[in-house]
């Protein structure tokens, strides 16, 4: 998998009249976020939009249908695949390109235009798109909050790594920090996806409790999948972040050190109160992972 630094497409290149892209949006009780996501997609001439839902009890399904999205229910039974990979395996996608979105993300007109040029370039089979994080009504520009996701790729060329096959619903029903791997060359787009990270702090805490369940089991998993993205300092951003987390997990007092790394060394304090809360939650999440690793080891008789 070869990755180029960044590709910028000329504004003078004539774009296609629509976007022959299949959009997949994973949801569960996203009535607060989904209207904004789907409204941003309207008028972009997208080929098709699938909302893959997990039995939402709010108005998520009705909102999706109001915006002419196709709704498919996903019933998680544990194990692998989880929601997004299941969708890639199962949905009758009609276009050659797939765009994966969360309900709390929006595509800007500038990104849409860039995508229309990018998918005409035969050199690449996937594109990394950066996330511009909005947290508590503030765009986070520091604290290592922004990152790249391989969100756009040719159908059949991209799939999620599987880091843990023994999963269950307590670890969320969709991919947490698994990454898309592409069989082919990739590049980076210039324009970001806007990511509204917090609907409420209560929901944020609830979701990250599930994530820490998954993280703890992943870090104790000794049978890495051969298709897994390896942690390395000299790899892609996702590999460096994974390498960094792996190193921090082995250090006593690492949750506090992780907070200071993000808040001080990565200048999270420049994002004001929102930056403080974000970095604080990152440190707390790290503590939860370490505590649950300890709990799992006790159950296995390793401590």
Digit-coded pLDDT (tens) for 227-284: 677 778 888 888 888 888 888 888 889 999 999 999 999 999 999 999 999 999 999 9
Residue 224 scores a pLDDT above 90: no
Q: pLDDT value at position 222?
A: 63
Q: pLDDT value at position 14?
A: 40
Measured CA to CA in angstroms, residue 98 lies from 22, 167, 198, 268 at distances of: 5, 26, 25, 33
Report the range of poorest mean pLDDT among 75-84, 248-257, 286-295.
Answer: 248-257
165 confidence band (pLDDT: 50, 70, 90): confident
| DSSP code for 14 | P
C-alpha–C-alpha distance, residues 205 and 300, integer Å: 27
User: Could you report the per-residue pLDDT of 95-127, keeping only the tens digit for each?
Assistant: 999 999 999 999 999 999 999 999 999 999 999
Report the range of poorest mean pLDDT among 54-63, 82-91, 227-236.
Answer: 227-236
> In 3-state terms, what secondary structure has residue 186?
strand
> Hey, what domains does the chain have and what are their CATH numbers?
19-198 (3.90.550.10), 204-300 (no CATH)
User: Could you report the per-residue pLDDT of 43-55, keeping only the tens digit for each?
Assistant: 888 879 999 999 9
Q: pLDDT value at position 119?
A: 96
33 confidence band (pLDDT: 50, 70, 90): very high
Closest Cα to residue 225, out of 74, 81, 77, 78? 81
How buried is 180 (Cβ within 10 angstroms: 0-12 exposed, 13-18 middle, 19+ buried)? Answer: buried
- For 15-25, letters b (16+ CB in 10 Å) and e give beeebbbbbbb
């Amino acid at each position: 998998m070869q990755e180029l630094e960044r590709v910028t497409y000329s504004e003078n290149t004539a774009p296609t009249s629509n976007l022959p892209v299949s959009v997949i949006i994973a949801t569960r009780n996203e009535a607060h976020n989904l209207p904004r996501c789907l409204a941003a997609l309207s008028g972009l001439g997208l080929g098709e939009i699938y909302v893959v839902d997990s039995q939402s009890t709010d108005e998520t399904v009705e909102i999706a249908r109001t915006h002419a999205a196709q709704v498919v229910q996903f019933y998680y039974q544990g194990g692998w695949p989880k929601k997004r990979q299941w969708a890639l395996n199962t949905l009758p996608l009609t276009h050659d390109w797939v765009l994966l979105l969360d309900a709390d993300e929006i595509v800007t007109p500038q990104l849409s235009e860039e995508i229309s040029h990018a998918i005409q370039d035969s050199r690449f089979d996937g594109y990394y798109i950066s996330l511009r994080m909005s947290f508590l009504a503030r765009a986070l520009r520091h604290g290592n909050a922004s990152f790249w996701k391989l969100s756009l790729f040719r159908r059949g060329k991209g799939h999620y790594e599987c880091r843990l096959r023994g999963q269950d619903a307590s670890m969320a029903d969709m991919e947490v920090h698994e990454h898309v791997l592409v069989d082919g060359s990739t590049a980076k787009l210039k324009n970001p996806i806007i990511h509204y990270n917090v609907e409420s702090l209560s929901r944020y805490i609830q979701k990250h409790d599930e994530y820490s369940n998954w993280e703890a089991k992943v870090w104790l998993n000794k049978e890495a999948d051969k298709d897994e993205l390896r942690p390395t300092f000299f790899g892609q951003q996702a590999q460096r972040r994974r390498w960094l987390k792996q190193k921090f997990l082995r250090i006593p007092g690492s949750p506090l050190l992780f907070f200071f790394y993000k808040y001080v060394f990565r200048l999270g304090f420049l994002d004001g109160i929102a930056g403080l809360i974000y970095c604080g939650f990152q440190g707390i999440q790290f503590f939860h992972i370490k505590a649950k690793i300890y709990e799992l080891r006790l159950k296995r008789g390793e401590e």
